[in-house]
Amino acid sequence: MHTVNIGDTQASLYGKDLLTLKDLSEADISALLTEAADLKQNKIQPIFQGKTLAMIFEKSSTRTRVSFEAGMAQLGGNALFLSQKDLQLGRGETVADTAKVLSGYVDAIMIRTFEHEKVEELAEHADIPVINGLTDKYHPCQALADLLTIKEVKGKLKGVKVAYIGDGNNVAHSLMVGCAKMGCDVSIASPKGYEVLDEAVNAAKEYAGVSGSSITLTADPGEAVKGADVIYSDVFTSMGQEAETNERLTVFTPYQVNASLVKHAKPDYTFLHCLPAHREEEVTAEIIDGPNSAVFQQAENRLHVQKALLKAILYKG
């Protein structure tokens, strides 16, 4: 496997898949963040002439599609948007067959879908790198943008306390794993029955044992936010859960990030949200549109970390 220089760190990512942040070491993540910061300042680097990224979308998206498509263009390559109606997957072709066919046409695949097992199967049968653009379990590209944003705003990662309030979902899983790897203290508050998966908790605790960070799980938002440097929220009802909307609004109402809750955090706390946001549900407009919010900086950083990732896995240097 080829080793590529990313910033001042060597990361052996060429030709590799990214299915979860468990696939990356602390050094890999540090290197990607360094490269992303450089690409943010030097956006156009036409190094991908003739390279094509296939983007499979079984879940619609604003940030994932535009950031990957714009990122490939800025690196001199091409991106193909493929919805279910554009592929034979929607008519019964197997994931394995699709992986093998696409491997003969393009240089990498990014997929945004429901079942995490589908991404794993795609990666198993593809001869080219596969990037998880989102599954029901993990959202690694979002977490990389989160880490870059925290580092930009706070000037560091190690020792920063990040409090996630709400559903123990894919965003929470990847944020927890990424923060634990990089030395951030993580506190997650979720209602009973909506906690983060043991699989993600166990991985995060293992990484925290190495980095010296801490993992706190609670049902009390106030406890989670106490002394926090960063407060993170996500929608109460994710795509595919629409039938649960009324029940979730009832259960999650006490988990709204509002002026009362943020009083428990540090005065200079930073508010993050992966977007899209539902104002006056999981967060009040006062908070998300207020001076402590960095949500649009965070959204822009999706572009830069994804370019860094694409460069690492596709560029030989």
Rounded CA separation 242/59 (Å): 14
238 annotated to bind ligand: yes
DSSP-derived 3-state class of residue 187:
strand
CA dist list (Å): 167 to 30, 187, 235: 28, 13, 8
| Marked catalytic residue, from 274, 298, 304, 306 | 274
Does the annotation count 229 as an active-site position? Answer: no
Does the annotation count 234 as an active-site position? Answer: yes
The C-alpha angle 203, 205, 210, rounded to 5 degrees, equals 100
Rounded CA separation 5/26 (Å): 15
274 annotated to bind ligand: yes
| Marked catalytic residue, from 17, 28, 107, 112 | 112
CB 234 within 8 A of CB 277: no
| Marked catalytic residue, from 139, 173, 273, 304 | 139
Sort residue 234 into left (φ over 0), alpha (ψ -120 to 50) or beta: beta
Rounded CA separation 175/134 (Å): 13
Rounded CA separation 34/23 (Å): 18
302 annotated to bind ligand: yes
142 annotated to bind ligand: yes
CB 16 within 8 A of CB 23: yes
Place of tokens 């995490």: 116
| Marked catalytic residue, from 28, 107, 229, 234 | 234
136 annotated to bind ligand: no
63 annotated to bind ligand: yes
Does the annotation count 142 as an active-site position? Answer: yes
**Residues recorded for the chain:** 317
| Marked catalytic residue, from 248, 273, 302, 304 | 302
254 annotated to bind ligand: no
E strand or H helix that includes residue 163? strand 161-165
CA dist list (Å): 261 to 154, 176, 265: 21, 21, 8
170 annotated to bind ligand: yes
Does the annotation count 112 as an active-site position? Answer: yes
Q: Which two tokens stand for residue 95?
A: 């994931």
139 annotated to bind ligand: yes
275 annotated to bind ligand: yes
Rounded CA separation 220/311 (Å): 41
233, β-bridge pairs: 165, 273
| Marked catalytic residue, from 28, 107, 116, 142 | 142
88 annotated to bind ligand: yes
Return binding residues. Answer: 61-64, 88, 112, 139-142, 170, 234, 238-239, 274-275, 302
Active site residues: 112, 139, 142, 234, 274, 302
Q: Which residues are annotated as a binding site for carbamoyl phosphate?
A: 61-64, 88, 112, 139-142, 274-275, 302
Q: Which residues are annotated as a binding site for L-ornithine?
A: 170, 234, 238-239
